[in-house]
Structure 1
Amino acid sequence: MKKTLSLLNLICLLLCLFISSTAAVAAGPGPLSKSQMTAEWQRAKEYTKEYLDAMSEEGISFKPTPEMRSFAEQMLHLANANFMFAATVSGKANPYQGKNLEKLPDYKTKAALSKVVLESYDFVISTLNGTSEAQLSENIKLFNHDLSRDLAYQKAFEHQTHHRGQTTVYIRLKGIKPPNEKLF
C-alpha cells in the first residue's frame, strides 16, 4: 500500500512538474532587454542590406505580377513603416512624416533605395537607444491598440521581417540566390 502511495505521489509530482514546465514554455521567453532588442535590429539591418546588395540595379523595379509591389516598393514600404513605428513609439519626429517613400521618384536607383532603407533601421536603433528600460514597459496607443513600447518595437520587427521575406521570391525570380538565413 505504501509503495502504491509513493508511486502515486511520484506520478502526481511528475505530472505537476510537466504541466508547470509546459505552461512556462507556452508563455515564451519573456521580453528582450534593450541591448538584446538593439542587437536584433542591427542584425536585421545587416540582413536587409544583404538583400539590397543581392538584387541587381534593374531588378529593383521588378514586380512578380502587375498588381504586386516592386522590389523597391516592398523595401520602401518596410522603410516607411520603420520610420512610422519608431517615431510613434519614441515620440521623436519622423524625418519622412507625411511622405510616402514608395511614391517618391527619389528612390529609383539601388544606391538611393539602399540609403533610405538602411537609414530607417538607423532611426529605429537610435530611438530604441534613446528609450530607457522603464519606458519600454510603458503603454502607448498604436493603431488604436494599447500596448507596451516593447511590444510595439516587436510589432515593427515582425513587419520588417515579413516584407524583407517577401522579397526572397523577387530575388529568386530574377535568377539570383538570396542571402542565407541570418539568425545570429
Structure 2
Amino acid sequence: MKQLLILTTFFFFSTATSPLLAQQDAFIKDYLERLENSRKYLILVAELMPEDKYDFRATPETLSFAENLMHIGFAMDWHSQSLLGGRATRDYQTDTIYKVDNKSKEEMIAIINETFDATIKLIEQFDTTQFEDELDYFGLNRSKQQIFLLLTDHITHHRGQMLVFMRLNELVPPRYVLFQ
C-alpha cells in the first residue's frame, strides 16, 4: 500500500510539472530565436553606420553611437553572465572590454558578436526551474524570467537610439525585422 501511495504521488507531481516545463522550454526556444534576430539587426545597424560617425552624439550628454553599441554589450554581459549566470559583475569604471577607447568599428562589432555568442550559450544551458528565483534589480525584486525580458528591452532601447543617430546623419536605417 505504501508503494502505491509513493507511486501515485510521483505520478501526480510528474504530470503536474510536465506542462510547466514544456512552457519554459518553449519560452527558451522563442527567446533564442528572438535574440538571434536581435543580433542580426544590431550588427546590420553597426555595419551601416560609417566608422567616422561612430563618435556622433545627438546631444552632449548622450552616449555616442559607439558608446551605445558597447553599452549594449556591457549590459548584455551583466544581465546574462552575472544576473542569470551568477558570475561576479564587471566593474564598469575599470572594464576595458566594453569601453570604446581606441577600438575600431570592426573590433566593436566583433565584441558584440562574442557577447551574443556567450549569452546564447548561457541561455541554451539555463535551468528553467530557476525562472522564479528573485534578484535585486536596482532596488526592485525581479525574477530571473523577468531578467530575460529586461535584457531584450535594454538592447531594443539603445538600438533605437542608434537608429535615430543614423537618421540624424542622413542615413537610412535598415528596415525593421519582426520578432526581435
For normalisation by structure 2, the TM-score amounts to 0.76
2:122 is matched with which residue?
Answer: 127
Report 1 or 2 for greater relative contact order, CA contacts < 8 Å, sequence distance ≥ 6: 2
Q: Deviations over 1:4-35 (max 9, x none)?
A: xxxxxxxxxxxxxxxxxxxxxxxxxx976111
> Equivalents in 2 of 1:147, 1:34: separation in Å?
18
The alpha-carbon distance between structure 1 residues 178 and 133, as it changes in their structure 2 partners (threshold 3 A), is same
The alpha-carbon distance between structure 1 residues 53 and 44, as it changes in their structure 2 partners (threshold 3 A), is same
Q: Deviations over 1:147-184 (max 9, x none)?
A: 22111110111011000011111111222110110114
> Equivalents in 2 of 1:128, 1:169: separation in Å?
30
1:148 pairs with 2:143: yes
Could you say what secondary structure the match of 2:170 adopts?
A: coil
> Equivalents in 2 of 1:36, 1:44: separation in Å?
12
Q: What pairs with 1:28-177 in structure 2 (closer than 5 Å)?
A: 33-86=27-80, 87-92=82-87, 97-98=90-91, 99=95, 103-107=99-103, 109-177=104-172
1:16 is matched with which residue?
Answer: none
Alpha-carbon contact 2:70-2:100 (below 8 Å) kept: no
Segments of 4+ moved more than 6 angstroms: none
For normalisation by structure 1, the TM-score amounts to 0.74
Could you say what secondary structure the match of 1:66 adopts?
A: coil
Q: Deviations over 1:60-116 (max 9, x none)?
A: 11112222211001111111110111121221456xx22165645243x11011111
Alpha-carbon contact 2:131-2:145 (below 8 Å) kept: yes
| Bigger Rg, which one | 1
The unaligned stretches of length 5 or more in structure 2 are 1-22
> Equivalents in 1 of 2:176, 2:109: separation in Å?
19
Q: CA RMSD in A?
A: 2.1
> Equivalents in 2 of 1:137, 1:33: separation in Å?
14
Q: Percent identity?
A: 24
Could you say what secondary structure the match of 1:181 adopts?
A: coil
Could you say what secondary structure the match of 1:164 adopts?
A: helix
Number of residues paired by the alignment? 152
> Equivalents in 1 of 2:49, 2:100: separation in Å?
20
Q: Deviations over 1:111-152 (max 9, x none)?
A: 011111222222221221121222223333332322221111
